Amino acid sequence: MAIGAAILLATLIGKRSLSLALAGALLAGVTMEVLDARDDLRSFGLWRWRESLADIQLTIAAPLLAYAFTTAKAAWQHFRTPP
C-alpha cells in the first residue's frame, strides 16, 4: 500500500496522468506478489493466491482512493468559493 501511495505522490508532483500511477502500482503489486508466491511455495508448499489477489487490489486501491479524495476536495472547495 505504501508503494502505491508513493507512486501516486510522484505522479501528482510530476503532473503525470492517473493511468500512469495505476499502471505503476499494478506493476509494483504484481512484482511483489510474484516474490511472495515464490516464498509461499517454499514455506507452505502451496501458493496462497487469494491473499496475493487481495494484496494487489489494495496496492491499486491506495492511489485510486487518494486521487479520488484529492479531486473531490478540490472540487468541493471550488464549488464553495463564491464567484
Average pLDDT over residues 46-75: 81
Average pLDDT over the chain, rounded to whole? 77
Instruction: Express each pLDDT in 20-55 by its tens digit.
Output: 777 777 788 888 889 999 999 999 999 898 988 888
Q: How many structural domains does the chain have? A: 1
> Which of 5-36 are b and which e, b meaning 16 or more Cβ less than 10 Å from the residue's Cβ?
bbbbeebeeeeeeeeebbebbbebbeeebeee
Segment 11-18 mean pLDDT: 63
Q: What percent of the chain has pLDDT over 70?
A: 71
| The predicted structure's pLDDT at residue 8 | 62
Q: Which domain holds residue 17?
A: 2-80
Asked whether the beta carbons of 67 and 18 are under 8 A apart, the reply is yes
Cα separation, 81 vs 15, whole angstroms: 24
- Rounded to whole angstroms, the Cα distance separating 3 from 12 reads 14
